[in-house]
Structure 1
Amino acid sequence: MEAAVEAHPARIGLVTQLFRFVIVGGLAAVVDYGTYQMLLHLGLNHSFWVSVAKGCSFILGTTTAYLLNKRWTFNVQGSATSLAQFVLLYVTTFFVNVGMNALSLHVLPEFAWKVSVAWVIAQGSATTINFLVLRLVIWRHA
């Protein structure tokens, strides 16, 4: 009986999942934004290199989010299938994130917080997609 409980952990409610997702997202955002700013200050702040910096920071933030969301937010053991689905989701949102960042940097007027605002727009777009697909598709039984 106990083995069955471990094989099928208790489902966590939507409000709890959303709350935990926001906490994990905040931590992952700190990793992402901190890495992005560090890389920009190290010299990856010209045209193409801004997207490279954003890509690297997204990967580190995403890895943080995956590991914490899998076990804490959605309480799943994970399988090769969910990992493969997760990778596909994050490849998609990688391009959404980096693309929205580049588009925002292109269309926003020059002002002191332009880079940060572009990062928030990109992050918000990708985060919305991530939560919906994780909850409704990948870890729908969690």
Structure 2
Amino acid sequence: MSGTTSAPEPHLPLPVELPLADEPGGTDVDLKTQMVRFIATGALSAVVDFGLYTLFLALGLPVYVAKSIGFIAGTTTAYLINRRWTFKAEPSRARFIAVVVLYAITFAVQVGLNSLMYNVFPDEWWKVPLAFVIAQGTATVINFVVQRAVIFKIH
């Protein structure tokens, strides 16, 4: 054989992906479809988040630790599903980094707001779920707006 072959350039691995087939359409999914899918994905992710949060509270972990674990698990679930199904976006390191930054911000909002509400509300049966819903709802609105307007427009 004549000629030279160069070794492929090393590259960073892409984030872990769910084994789902993308449908055609890219990021031009209409707003109504995105909202319905985002809400469905958010509901599943909230079950993961709240389930772990209450489990770890019952095991005696501090509220901010329990909420942090739940948030990380729920948010990871949401990103993986939203990237592939809600926004139908191709894998992108730039997008992944933008999502990490967004989730760091919403992490602070969610854990901080949840802790504030948890400490402000009286010690009643509804304290934990109401604090969770307020924090989750606030973070959900922030996430949808930023993901739709910015993150899933990154190529």
Q: TM-score, normalised by structure 1?
A: 0.88
Q: 4+ runs of 1 displaced by more than 3 Å?
A: none
Higher helix residue share: 1
User: For structure 1, which runs of at least 5 residues remain unmatched after alignment?
Assistant: 1-5
Partner of 1:12: 29
Mapped contact 2:26–2:87 kept (Cα < 8 A): no
Q: Identical aligned pairs, as a percentage? A: 50
Mapped contact 1:11–1:141 kept (Cα < 8 A): no
Residue from 60, 74, 80 that aligns with 2:93: 80
Inter-partner Cα distance in structure 2 for 1:8 and 1:18: 16
Q: TM-score, normalised by structure 2?
A: 0.81
Partner of 1:95: 108
Deviation at 1:31, TM superposition (A): 0.3
Counterpart residue type for residue 138 of structure 2: S
Aligned pair count?
A: 133
Counterpart residue type for residue 58 of structure 2: H
1:92-130 deviation line (CA, Å, top 9, x unaligned): 000000000011112222321101100001101111100
Residue from 49, 64, 71 that aligns with 1:51: 64
Residue from 31, 45, 66 that aligns with 1:28: 45
Deviation at 1:16, TM superposition (A): 0.2
Mapped contact 2:27–2:152 kept (Cα < 8 A): no
Deviation at 1:85, TM superposition (A): 0.2
Partner of 2:144: 131
Give the 3-state SS of the residue equivalent to 1:112 in structure 2. Answer: coil
Mapped contact 1:24–1:65 kept (Cα < 8 A): yes
